[in-house]
Amino acid sequence: MLSQTFFAQEFAIDLQLRPRAEYRHGFKTLVPDAADAATFISQRSRLNFNYGSEKLNAYISLQNVRTWGEVSTLSASDANGTAIHEAWASFKLDSEFSFKMGRQEIIYDDSRIFGNVDWAQTGRSHDAFIATYQPNSKNRLDIGLALNEEDETLFKTDYDVNNYKAFQYAWYHTSLDNLNLSLLALNTGFTFDKNGKQEVDYNQTLGAFVSFGKNQLKGDASAYFQTGKIADRSLSAYNLAGNLHYQINSEFTFGLGAELLSGTDMNSTSDKMNSFNPLFGTNHKFNGWMDYFYVGNHINSVGLLDISVPLKYQKEKVTLQLVPHLFSSAATVVDNFGNEKDNYLGTEIDFSFGYKIASNIDFQLGYSHMFATETMEVLKGGNRNNTTNWAWAMFVFKPKLFTHTTSK
């Protein structure tokens, strides 16, 4: 008797084009007096190459991110050029162990601590090594490592990139009947200057994420704690969150969510930092789409309490979402005269409409409005009485250019 092993190799090329028009009049911050709205069109263009076989997988994603008009129509060069968003390879040692290394997106759970920040035209990716142990379909353990330098050098040099210096983490996931549980232990190092010399402080993020669903009810909850040091200050912070979603019928879903991220009192006399940092999460997904919190801002600040009531309608090709947010500070806010302010920061209303034109063409648009308080004005500046809103419209094209499969 003769036996023969068959395996397949696949090579695919696909494209993503994503032009997005925006009207910004209070996006991320309150509007100063006499400031006019910004209007522009940005575009992400990605070309993705994917190879897969029984043992080896490899992926390269090239991208160009531009604002329409940033170079003239006769320009001989591009302002940003083409960048490598992802370039990684993974291979399997056997049915349980695999390794992945290179420039890659890292996404876990609801993307609160690790996410690809896909809303941003650039997106987020890491230079990292990940070892995976997966004994079965219900259990998985990832060990991740990253070590960053600016260049190949002969001796130690400072790392001045706006980035972390290194991280090490372990992420474990298990699936039960109606419940999924993940545990995360992350050690992250950031550089800082101390007496003219660069040093590295490490802080630790420890926590769990659980999601569940049965019949029309779905939900999730998470708890993360941070300790260690940051910029020579002791850190003690936490993040607690929970969300419930009830599917009223095949089209309507009603939700209720709350998230608390601890903060540091503005009048604190302690050297301890109590502000939680979501680190590498897709923060645009959380705390309002106007990005007032934790999207390149609000780090090491007074924290946040966010109560949201998401409503969703989905039928065939149409998706509608309406998400009100009620924001409050988690710690004490003090104005320039030393007066403590009310914790209520404001209310944001987010609305989006999506229509699937074809299997590889989507159209989306959205509108958000912020009703800010005097306390928000203390934090952000600007004038809370000015109209604060943001609108956008976006096409997403995802054509598959080439797919080829061979069997041996």
Residue 2 lies inside a defined structural domain of this protein = no
Closest CA to 394 of 115, 125, 124, 118: 118
Query: Quick one: pLDDT at residue 2?
Result: 43
Query: Quick one: pLDDT at residue 407?
Result: 79
According to DSSP, the β-strands at 179-194 and 344-358 are unpaired
CB-based contact 225:238 (threshold 8 Å): yes
Closest CA to 285 of 110, 38, 72: 110
CB atoms within 10 A of CB 28: 15
Residue 260 lies inside a defined structural domain of this protein = yes
- Please name the residues in contact with 67: beta carbons below 8 A apart, sequence gap of 6 or more: 40, 41, 42, 43
Token pair for residue 100? 């992945």
CB-based contact 388:8 (threshold 8 Å): no
Query: Quick one: pLDDT at residue 40?
Result: 98
Angle at 299 between CA 262 and CA 240, to 5 degrees: 30
Q: Strands, E, within 81-178: which ranges?
A: 83-92, 97-104, 126-136, 139-147, 166-175
| DSSP string across 302-355 | S-EEEEE--EEEEETTEEEEEEEEEEE-SS--B-TTS-B--SEEEEEEEEEEEE
Alpha carbon distance 207, 117 (integer Å):
21
| Paired residues of 60 in beta bridges | 49, 87
Residue 150 lies inside a defined structural domain of this protein = yes
Residue 3 lies inside a defined structural domain of this protein = no
- 165 exposed, middle or buried (CB, 10 Å; 0-12, 13-18, 19+)? buried
Query: Quick one: pLDDT at residue 6?
Result: 55
Mean pLDDT by 10 residues, the chain (408 residues): 62 98 97 95 98 96 97 90 96 96 98 98 98 97 97 95 97 95 98 95 98 95 97 96 96 97 96 96 97 96 98 97 98 95 98 97 98 97 96 98 88
Is residue 156 classed as helix, strand or coil in its secondary structure? coil
| Paired residues of 194 in beta bridges | 197
Query: Quick one: pLDDT at residue 1?
Result: 36
Query: Quick one: pLDDT at residue 253?
Result: 97
Query: Quick one: pLDDT at residue 7?
Result: 66
The alpha-helical segments, DSSP class H, found in 107-164 are: none
Own/partner pairs for 94-100, CB < 8 Å, 24+ apart?
Answer: 96/133, 96/134, 96/135, 97/131, 97/132, 97/133, 98/131, 98/132, 98/134, 99/129, 99/130, 99/131, 99/132, 100/129, 100/130, 100/132
Alpha carbon distance 48, 102 (integer Å):
15
Domain holding 400: CATH number? 2.40.160.100
Report the domain count for the chain: 1
Place of tokens 């004038």: 383
Query: Quick one: pLDDT at residue 342?
Result: 97
Which amino acid, one-letter code, is at 116? N
**Terminal-residue alpha carbon distance, the chain:** 19
Of all residues in the chain, what percent are helix, strand and coil, respectively (each to 5)?
0, 60, 40
Residue 25 lies inside a defined structural domain of this protein = yes
CB-based contact 347:372 (threshold 8 Å): no
Q: Could you give phi then psi for residue 378, rounded to 5 degrees?
A: -65, -40
Which amino acid, one-letter code, is at 193? D
Given its phi and psi angles, is residue 54 left (phi above 0), alpha (psi -120 to 50 degrees) or beta? alpha
Three-state secondary structure of 46-66: EEEEEEECCCEEEEEEEEEEE
Boundaries of domain holding 83: 8-407
Residue 250 lies inside a defined structural domain of this protein = yes
Given its phi and psi angles, is residue 371 left (phi above 0), alpha (psi -120 to 50 degrees) or beta? beta
